[in-house]
Amino acid sequence: MEKIIVIGNGMVGYKFCEKLRSKATKEQFSIKVFGEEPHPAYDRVHLSEYFSNRSVEDLEMAPRSWYVENDVELITGELIVNIDRENKVIKSHTGLEESYDKLILATGSSAFVPPIKGSEMQGVFVYRTIEDLEAIIEYSKHSKKAAVLGGGLLGLEAAKAMLDLNQETHVIEFASRLMPRQLDQAGSDALKYKMEELDVNIHMNRNTASILGEDKMTGLEFTDGQLMAADMLVISCGIKPRDELAKQCGLEVGHRGGIVVNDHLETTDKDIFAIGECALHKEFIYGLVAPGYEMAEVVADRLIGGDEKTFESFDMSTKLKLIGVDVASFGDALCENTPHKPIVFEDSLEGIYKRINLSEDGKTLLGGILVGDAEAYGMLLQITLNGMALPPSPEDLILGSRGGESADMELPDTAQICSCENVTKGDICKAVVDNNLEHVADVKSCTKAGTGCGACSPMVADIFNAQLKSMGKTVKKVLCEHFDYSRQELFDLIKIKGIKSYDDLLDAHGSGDGCEVCKPAVASLMASIWNELILNQDTIQDTNDRFLANIQKGGSYSVVPRIPGGEITPDKLIVIGQVAKKYDLYTKITGGQRIDLFGASVNQLPDIWEELIEAGFESGHAYGKSLRTVKSCVGSSWCRFGLHDSVSFAIEIEERYRGLRSPHKLKSAVSGCRRECAEALSKDFGIIATELGWNLYVCGNGGANPQHALLLAGDIDSETCKKYIDRFLMFYIKTAEPLNRTSTWLNKLEGGIEYLKQVVVGDSLGIAADLEREMDFMVETYKCEWKEVVNNPELRKKFSHFVNTEIPDPTMQFEDFRGQKKPVDWDKELVESK
């Protein structure tokens, strides 16, 4: 029996043990693993989840019982300090000695701490282990403001941790952009915008000179002389390979660190292998888990006698959700040294940035970047890795099909879906068929796909559903892994059982602790069903809903009173002007026929709204997934072409559906004739006057992927029009998936517009009366959210930047702009100051 010793019980060390045990019998190899931490291997990729549940067990790769069952001897809390290569013996810090036949170094990496004066003080932490997190949690109990040094992957994860600990959070980045290895400048700007929406303060081009304080830190000093007060600092500037054992025993290491290995992961000693973040392969250290798993596979195969499997350069594509923001890069994301033709889509309003890089002949996808919307990541990665032919209009890959040939593409069975576990599409399909699998969780358990970093999980689910459908089975789309129900099923459960809180729903019909997918979705469902104040939902995660206002660039908020149909009296116009002048707000008339006021701080919002409500205004719901505006032309009241009074009908429509919570925002318009000045055909529901009444159009939208609304009913009277809108909106709210606009919902609806006509107009399902009754309930129970806040002292207390003082956010800065104010461009100011 050959004796294998593994030094390091991290994710890669554990995976090596798992792979070797799957390939060889217990009689062939004995395995002993040494880990210096007190816990068995745990998932560092999802380390931030520890702040939510404080459970090491939930993060464990496998319980201790797994090691026992698989004859793997696990020794934790033991640091190996010496390797005697001549006698093939290792020695621990307690004096324990063990001999080996083959030695696997899986020592991983440690946090890199720049040589900054004061880094040894109390209040300065790294972000690497469970022990680090426990120390941060304890210290945060006496801290209010935290700085994070580093704006890369690790730094932004640390920033999320600081938010979870209710710290005023600042990210300090030396470079000119966030995640500089993965994002270009525009991608960084989009990510910065999204993070500032979530109250994370980003400081670019900042070089930290020293940490201030005596025994414990009190702030930071930068090389330009500027100071920043802070109670604690988390250093997350990257990693350095743990190669001290290799140096001690004379193995070759790189000049910048890392244990030198060949394609078989052998070190300069043929009986010692190195895998994971401690290994230097062809002058490269891999800091992702997937390459480490592949290294583990290569060494396990080598030990059982294989010599064909080798480790080659590894794809470093990655997708993750940073503080609720999707970020992905794949292939040659930056193409800094590669001739290419980029296609770019940017929506600065929503903080979405997409870039794909095509070869010069336009036939091959080289790589790309996705920020704010990474839904297409899985398919784009597969197209890149497999060299698949592009659609006739390559821009459809990031914009979606806009007519003509679809951009949907069929993956080959050889496509590698899960790089962490090397699982192909064919592996998944075969597992579904051979094992008669019925749930995505069964696929993950059977194939291990999606159990590593998790980035491939959406594609695993898509392949699973497609395979079930090809087998003639019903495909069930669940909300997320914590609820084995679709949004529509949860809607019915909540309503039938009278559930009014997320925790009650999770306890009765879910599992785990929830996630950033189900929490806001359930909050939206509760609001859609019970029509109660959104602030009463404890689990709400959307900053806009939390403060009933859209957060803007620089950390300020907007105030948007409702102006039904765009009609406003001179007295109300005067009040808006007086409020804007009193609170120094930037004022703009929007395309939706209302007036936006920008630049308010959180603590000003209740006072501003108190004055507006006293003047007769109410919330415009510009921040919510709800009805925004009903735009109108002047109609027959003034226009010589007008057929009907479009303004009066628009006001009636807006006042009927105001505050209605839905899966996505809703926009509407009423045009007084076919000249269509209100642009009703680009709205979720639009109304156009005809000689005989009104035409009702539904499921349109503008934006990056515009779609004309389709005729639902023609030449109908006003009461019938409202009745059909009632049915349409309630049917949409009950059946759409989270964050699907009406246009997307209709595109997915089997039978399309003809089926929708049957349901709404023809009442083919026999539910029309129920839908109308449910809408009547919404109309009757409507309350202005801001009026509720203004009149409730306890709710008003929530609108403050800091828990211990009433002062506004001191980091907000503005500059003069055409006679008004706008947020200062912090990055530009810092660059110019240098």
pLDDT band at 540 (very low <50, low <70, confident <90, very high): low
Q: Is 732 helix (H, G, I), strand (E, B) or coil?
A: helix
Of residues 322, 429, 327, the one with CA closest to residue 375: 327
Q: Taking 60 as the threshold, does the pLDDT of residue 829 lie above it?
A: no
Lowest mean pLDDT among 136-140, 348-352, 671-675, 738-742: 348-352
pLDDT band at 458 (very low <50, low <70, confident <90, very high): confident
Q: For residues 293 and 421, give the distance between their C-alpha atoms in angstroms, rounded to a whole number.
A: 7
Q: Is 431 helix (H, G, I), strand (E, B) or coil?
A: helix
pLDDT at 826: 52
Q: Give mean pLDDT, residues 389-399.
A: 86
Q: Give mean pLDDT, residues 118-139.
A: 94
pLDDT at 125: 96
pLDDT band at 828 (very low <50, low <70, confident <90, very high): very low
pLDDT at 34: 97
pLDDT band at 533 (very low <50, low <70, confident <90, very high): confident
Cβ pair 326, 319 in contact under 8 A: yes
Q: Give mean pLDDT, residues 663-680.
A: 93
Mean pLDDT value across the chain: 89
Lowest mean pLDDT among 21-25, 185-189, 418-422, 767-771: 418-422
Q: For residues 189 and 186, give the distance between their C-alpha atoms in angstroms, rounded to a whole number.
A: 5
Q: Give mean pLDDT, residues 725-745.
A: 93
Which range, 51-55, 242-246, 410-414, 745-749, is most confident? Answer: 242-246
Q: For residues 418 and 422, give the distance between their C-alpha atoms in angstroms, rounded to a whole number.
A: 5
Q: Within 13 A of 785's CA, how many CA atoms are on the CB side?
A: 29
Tokens representing residue 231 in the block: 């109670």
Q: Taking 90 as the threshold, does the pLDDT of residue 516 lie above it?
A: no
Cβ pair 368, 409 in contact under 8 A: no
Q: Ramachandran region of residue 626, left (φ > 0), alpha (ψ -120 to 50) or beta?
A: beta
More confident residue, 406 or 188: 188
pLDDT at 731: 96
pLDDT at 831: 35
pLDDT at 322: 65
Give the amino acid at 106.
A
pLDDT band at 579 (very low <50, low <70, confident <90, very high): very high
pLDDT at 480: 80
What is the tens place of the pLDDT at every residue in 784-826?
A: 999 999 999 888 888 877 656 666 667 777 888 788 888 877 5
Q: For residues 44 and 50, give the distance between their C-alpha atoms in angstroms, rounded to a whole number.
A: 10
Q: Taking 80 as the threshold, does the pLDDT of residue 470 lie above it?
A: yes
pLDDT at 415: 83
Q: Give mean pLDDT, residues 306-319.
A: 83
pLDDT at 802: 66
pLDDT band at 833 (very low <50, low <70, confident <90, very high): very low
What is the tens place of the pLDDT at every residue in 39-92?
A: 999 988 888 878 776 788 888 999 999 999 999 999 999 999 999 999 999 999
pLDDT at 344: 94
Q: For residues 457 and 450, give the distance between their C-alpha atoms in angstroms, rounded to a whole number.
A: 5
Of residues 480, 453, 802, 791, the one with CA closest to residue 614: 791
Q: Taking 50 as the threshold, does the pLDDT of residue 161 lie above it?
A: yes
CB neighbour burial string for 106-132, b if at least 16 within 10 angstroms, e if fewer: bbbbbbbbeebebbebebbbbbbbbeb
CB atoms within 10 A of CB 217: 21
pLDDT band at 830 (very low <50, low <70, confident <90, very high): very low
Q: Is 230 helix (H, G, I), strand (E, B) or coil?
A: coil
More confident residue, 359 or 375: 359
Report strand pairing: 259-261 vs 168-172: unpaired
Lowest mean pLDDT among 225-239, 346-360, 402-416, 476-490: 402-416
Q: Taking 50 as the threshold, does the pLDDT of residue 304 lie above it?
A: yes
pLDDT at 407: 42
pLDDT at 391: 86
What is the tens place of the pLDDT at every residue in 684-702?
A: 999 999 999 999 999 998 7
Cβ pair 36, 47 in contact under 8 A: no
Domains of the chain, CATH where assigned: 2-109+241-303 (3.50.50.60), 124-237 (3.50.50.60), 491-532 (no CATH), 542-619+784-825 (3.30.70), 626-783 (3.30.413.10)
pLDDT at 321: 67
CB atoms within 10 A of CB 260: 19
pLDDT at 539: 62
CB atoms within 10 A of CB 824: 14
Q: Taking 60 as the threshold, does the pLDDT of residue 31 lie above it?
A: yes
What is the tens place of the pLDDT at every residue in 613-661?
A: 999 999 999 888 999 999 999 898 888 888 999 999 999 999 999 999 9
Give the bridge partners for 284, in sequence order.
281
Give the bridge partners for 326, in sequence order.
321
pLDDT band at 414 (very low <50, low <70, confident <90, very high): confident
